[in-house]
A = this chain, B = another copy of it.
Amino acid sequence: MAMPKKTKNTKKTSPALQERSSRKTIIDVAKCAGVHWSTVSRGLNPEKRHLISPEMIERVEACAKKLGYRANAMASALRTQRSRTVGVIISNLGDPVHPPIVRAIEDRFAEIGYVTIVGNTDNHPLRQAALIDRFIQQGVEGLIVATFERNDPGIAACVEANIPVVAVFRDPESEFIPSVRVDDAKAMELAVHHLAECGHRQIAHVGGPQNVSTGYHRYRGFRRACKVLAQDGVAPTAVFGEAFTVEEGEFACERLLTENPNITAIVAGNDMLAVGCLRHLRNKGISCPGNISLVGMNDMLFMDAIAPALTTISTPTAELGTQASHILIAMIKGTPVQNDRIVLKPVLLARDSVAAIKLPTRTRSSDLSDAAKREVRIRHRQS
């Protein structure tokens, strides 16, 4: 056979590869400009551009634009080991609390030319594990995780893979993981104090799952606040939903009211649960705030438009995402991060779902209102 043994540049590549080869490479640009492609690489890279003469840069850029050249991010990532990609893991984009967080993260990383990939776990631990795996495999430079449970085993996989991770919205209670969250316990204290000020004494908590830090800390904050006010006759009760959903709130509220028909106020662990409570109350013909007052948490979108406008604790979701991004960016750059345990302050938004009731005997709301009152802003959402 007359075939030479060195048949390198023949059509060895599979047909599938050729199809998309319309994409221009650095070599095409070099050919167009009549220079070596390494020169093109430097001319197009802002950090190495100073090595190249200005007119050469101009020539290269002109050719690149003419050919519609776009650098191949995969090749670049492979060579530099930097994918310019971060991952965000949440339980469910459909939950209105998450989109603002993700939005803020995407914004911050877009600013530095990074791309954001998202994944939903629906609170399945193994789906979370699979997601983290896929993202690491994909080469993410960092991860922002909103689904960590307390002492989550999934954390191990991340630190083992030596990839920067920050927890947002939850407290992983791990010394290795920076976190950004709101002061959940404080939030519940605000709610309880507000209700006590309004004369409520039989206060119940409709909480979320206790294996996630938000549910746990909020319940603790609720109990602590009640204990502080025990001298005033504040008596706590609590039921828990299996998840932070409207349905679970509805069920939990039903259980609560059958077991404790005499409560006058509910602190929900979440606006979702609060909406569930509201639905149950409406179904049973119980007036809110006429018969029972209700406080939610997070101030999700439209919580000021529902009936009754929900008194709730606002959570700065966008700020959460922004702060988490700042930390992660610092970690990626290798910059030392000064404060990696950020706890934001919650604010009570007094609206229409809480009513004052007549105090039974002595009135001593004055001394407990002192500290609490400063935290309260009576305002409706403007934006």
**Could you list which residues of chain A lie within 8 angstroms of chain B, going by C-beta atoms?**
16-17, 20, 22-23, 68, 70-75, 77-78, 80-81, 83-85, 92-94, 96, 98-100, 102-103, 106-107, 110, 113, 115-120, 133-139, 160-162, 246-247, 275, 278-279, 301-302, 305-308, 383
Contact = CB atoms under 8 A, between A and B. Distances in A.
Contacts of A307: 305-308
A103 B107 contact: no
A279 B94 CA distance: 25
Nearest to A308: B307
A93 B102 contact: yes
Nearest to A246: B383
Contacts of A247: 383
A115 B117 contact: yes
13 contacts: A73-B137, A73-B139, A84-B138, A93-B100, A96-B99, A115-B134, A116-B117, A246-B383, A275-B302, A275-B305, A279-B305, A302-B306, A306-B307
Contacts of A139: 72-74
A147 to B, nearest CB: 14
Contact of A73 (B138, B246, B275): B138
Nearest to A110: B119
A17 B70 contact: no
Contacts of A113: 134
B107 A120 contact: yes
A383 B22 CA distance: 48
Residue in A72, A115, A134, A275 whose Cβ sees the most chain B Cβ within 10 Å: A115
B301 A96 contact: yes
A29 to B, nearest CB: 14
A93 B116 CA distance: 13
A83 B94 contact: no
A23 B77 CA distance: 15
A22 B307 CA distance: 56
A11 to B, nearest CB: 16
Nearest to A107: B120
B117 A16 contact: no
B83 A93 contact: no
A27 to B, nearest CB: 15
A103 B193 CA distance: 38
Contact of A120 (B70, B106, B115, B137): B106
Contact of A306 (B93, B118, B305): B305
Residue in A23, A100, A103, A278 whose Cβ sees the most chain B Cβ within 10 Å: A103
A383 to B, nearest CB: 8
A77 B279 CA distance: 50
Given A17-B81, A74-B139, A119 B96 contact: no
Given A139-B72, A307-B307, A99 B93 contact: yes
Given A93-B99, A139-B72, A118 B119 contact: no
A194 to B, nearest CB: 22
B118 A70 contact: no
Contact of A160 (B68, B137, B383): B68
B70 A74 contact: no
B74 A78 contact: yes
Nearest to A305: B306
A117 B119 contact: no
Nearest to A300: B302
Contacts of A72: 78, 137, 139
Given A71-B137, A72-B78, A279-B305, 13 more contacts: A68-B160, A72-B137, A74-B74, A84-B138, A92-B103, A96-B99, A96-B302, A103-B120, A115-B117, A115-B119, A246-B383, A275-B302, A306-B306
